[in-house]
A and B are shown apart, each in its own frame.
Chain A
Amino acid sequence: MARTKSKTGPTTITIDPVTRIEGHMKVEAVVDGGEVKEARCSGTLFRGFENILVGRHPLDAVRLTQRVCGVCPTSHGTASALCLDAALGVADQVPDNGRIVRNLLLGCNFLQSHILHFFALAALDYVDVTAVADYDGPESELKAVRSFLGRGALAPFVPRYEGDYRADTQTNIGLVRAYLKALHIRRTCHEMLCIFGGKMPHNIGIVPGGVTGDVTPDKVATFMGKLAEIQDFVNDVYLPTIMTVAGAYADYFGIGAGCRRFLAYGVFPLSAKADGARLLPSGLIDADGSPAALDRDRIAEDVTHSRYAAECAAAPAQGKTVPEPHKDGAYSWLKAPRYDGAPAEVGPLARGMVAYAAGDEVFKPEIDAALQAAGAGPEVLPSVLGRHLARALETRIVARVMMDWLGELVPGDPVAAPLTIPDEGEGAGLTAAPRGALGHWIQIRNKVIDRYQLVVPTTWNGSPRDADGTPGPIEQALEGTRIKDPDNPFEIVRIVRSFDPCLACSVHVMTARGTPRGVYRIV
């Protein structure tokens, strides 16, 4: 049961912790007349990663920032390598093999993260595992679930919210089969990453200048074999599962729209030019639906309701932050990034919206076909189901293009540019994590890190209110939602989880050390 506090009239639903996300999150929703009137998202962990980086060797940033998040370390490794490429003056010198292997490593993590997200994290909001008690077929894994249910110790699948599992028994059994298969396939994604990445989580393959491992035909062959198996899963299980869930819960195409403003930095460079084309393009879709080019100077962070000193509100390149754990009016360790002063949603839906608006020849047909199959138009995309659909379609596209990239590798060619650590340097690395736009900024002085900063996806999506009182994207998606049963508020957790929050990534602190900030180069 959610904790409910009865006041006079409105009821506050507090969910702390929100599980099946990455990290520590609390959601409070004030419900009146069956509708969420006000929602607050809080990050409840502070580690201060950026302070730990100050004074260290610049190359160490790639390895240490990966440890910000065990679900998307490869994204942090990528962003860190990009900002260091710029700071070390090798942004345009990464050999093709290095660039392509980087793309493959990050691609592996997109596949792993998206599959993990839907099946391991989100699915239990829609799938009734206990339906497998009625399974009478021969499959070992489902029989194991039936035996498990028969023994009666049902953790970690019970307790849970009750009352809104809609699929019939046979459909539920099929969904549990998919859940179990997904556990195998996401492990396979990590095995595939390990071929060039050495280990996962926290791969060691991505370094400034390129990657560590050479390209050999046997590695390519092993990679291809695993990728083909994953492609089959995405096409034959993941996408059909999304369509099955969309059929049973079709009202979720109309729930959880959010701020309807979308931001993407662009990811997967397609040429050696650091500012060249990327597979998933950058851009902004404004609240009125109009597209615009990305201008990173419009990014700023607000801390009005964040547990940081007021002096810290600034653009990422100028910001400084001092934690104030007990600041009046603050309710989150997340800051509130704003683009042109307003919130923006990031993630697969945002990337899909940006690509769709640009008429992208890869994305637009995929999205149109999926919408047609679901019997809906593009207006339903900003929604809980729209996010799940966009994530699954992106998985399919990335998996398909990765096979092409494998064919572009040249065994024996160089994988990394030689590196020299400058006395001074600075750079920015803007890319994407599976869950949205990701930026790292570095400043080097006397050959060590003088300042390091991250602005990460869930800081955008899970941000608290800003100085204008405008709620963050998840908060906006919650407000106005009708809650059928306050003791089992499925709507809240389904909305929150559709954003794939990653709280460990989101909570950090910028350092006040150093001099006024220069202009960072975007790579």
Chain B
Amino acid sequence: MPQTVEIPVVWLQGAACSGCAVSVLNAFSPTAGPLLLKELTPGKHVSVRVLATIMAGQGEQVIEVLKDTAIRDKGGYLFVMEGSIQLGDPMFATFGEEGGREIPIYDMAADLATDAAAVIGLGTCASFGGIPAGEGNLTGATSIGALLAERGIDVPVINVPGCPPHPDWFVGTLVAVSLYGLEAIVPTLDELSRPAMFFGKCVHETCPRRADFDAGRFARNFGEPGCMYHLGCKGPVTYADCPTRMWNTGTNWCVGAGSPCHGCVEPDFPDRLSPLYEKIDEQRLGRFRLLEPQTQADADA
């Protein structure tokens, strides 16, 4: 039998909530067990060397695996960054120690990126800064891409945003890399370094409540039928395949559960999509034409 090729993965969590890792544990095809244990594509296995949430090793073992991977697999491993990077102070986020001193995550991330084949910015925080980089933050949080630009580190970055990202978006990206290679995938990323296959379509285009928008039927309170434009839906300015892919093994999605889309995959999340429950200006609707109100209640609003 031919030898299985190992694709080493090291996964670092910065200013994160672990939600991206937990979402990936919700993967369905393949599920989490086979994802860790079996070949992802014929002849190739993703070897998750470091992911603090699930790995057996502790403390210095973790740091040794990271260093060992960067040296032995230089240029051949994938570096998954979850969470944003806080540049404001070295003590805001540390991971492990070296010579009795805490290692700032921004240095750890820069070192791991330098020797990686590619960086996957997993989740909106790593891709664009996300909530930790929101207005009012004290920590100087930013994306992995911004850190690499500041340090002049030239390595391909693939952003898989979402708060959290859908497990299919991450697993699908891994499969694409495994099957076709980075050299085929990286040139096809969009202007935000995202795989277009998941983030190419506007949520509003495929929303099952689109007919309500077009007919001017709007929900005014939670639990009501109708388009949720007036409840703050950001579907018209959000690009992701949630309406058709749905979440948690195709169970449901935000609009399906009676909630407006908050645009959690977007670089504008959260600041320029807030307040989350207030409608966006009509001019941001762009090509989507808002009809005149059809009911007295809509006219009063």
A54 touches B223 (CB 8 A): no
A59–B262 Cα gap in the complex (Å)?
Answer: 12
B32 touches A194 (CB 8 A): no
B257 touches A187 (CB 8 A): no
The listed residue with most A CB atoms (<10 A of its CB), out of B17, B61, B97, is: B17
A471–B52 Cα gap in the complex (Å)?
Answer: 26
A183 touches B31 (CB 8 A): yes
Cβ-neighbour of B222 out of A56, A70, A129, A211 (below 8 A): A211
A63 touches B262 (CB 8 A): yes
A205 touches B60 (CB 8 A): no
B222 touches A207 (CB 8 A): yes
Please judge, given known A-B contacts A52-B134, A199-B247, A199-B253, whether A47 and B275 are in contact too, CB under 8 Å.
no
CB proximity to B under 8 Å, residues A178-217: 180, 183-184, 186-187, 190-191, 193-205, 207, 209-214
B34 touches A71 (CB 8 A): no
Cβ-neighbour of B136 out of A51, A67, A196 (below 8 A): A51
Whole-angstrom distance between the Cβ of B281 and the nearest chain A Cβ: 16
B276 touches A57 (CB 8 A): yes
B25 touches A46 (CB 8 A): no
A144 touches B33 (CB 8 A): yes
CB proximity to B under 8 Å, residues A7-47: 14-20, 22-24, 26, 44-47
Cβ-neighbour of B59 out of A2, A153, A204 (below 8 A): A2
Please judge, given known A-B contacts A183-B32, A194-B248, whether A24 and B19 are in contact too, CB under 8 Å.
no
B17 touches A68 (CB 8 A): yes
B299 on the A face (CB < 8 A)? no
A213–B253 Cα gap in the complex (Å)?
Answer: 11
B132 touches A183 (CB 8 A): no
A373 on the B face (CB < 8 A)? no
Please judge, given known A-B contacts A14-B97, A325-B91, whether A156 and B248 are in contact too, CB under 8 Å.
no
Please judge, given known A-B contacts A120-B54, A144-B37, whether A198 and B247 are in contact too, CB under 8 Å.
yes
B94 touches A191 (CB 8 A): no
B residues within 8 A CB of A45?
14-15, 92-94
Chain A 256-300 per-residue mask, 1 if CB under 8 angstroms from chain B, else 0:
000000000000000000000000000000000000000000000
Cβ-neighbour of A70 out of B19, B137, B262, B270 (below 8 A): B19
Please judge, given known A-B contacts A155-B47, A156-B49, whether A17 and B139 are in contact too, CB under 8 Å.
no
A307–B163 Cα gap in the complex (Å)?
Answer: 29
B residues within 8 A CB of A195?
251-252, 257
- A502, closest chain B residue (CB): B18
B293 on the A face (CB < 8 A)? no
Chain B 258-283 per-residue mask, 1 if CB under 8 angstroms from chain A, else 0:
11001010000010001111100000
A198–B94 Cα gap in the complex (Å)?
Answer: 34
A residues within 8 A CB of B31?
183-184, 187
Whole-angstrom distance between the Cβ of A232 and the nearest chain B Cβ: 18
B100 on the A face (CB < 8 A)? yes
The listed residue with most B CB atoms (<10 A of its CB), out of A19, A51, A196, is: A19
A189–B132 Cα gap in the complex (Å)?
Answer: 28
Cβ-neighbour of A416 out of B100, B137, B221, B242 (below 8 A): B221
A57 touches B22 (CB 8 A): no
Sort A-B residue pairs by CB-CB distance and give the 3 closest, nearest first. Answer: A70-B19, A198-B257, A57-B275
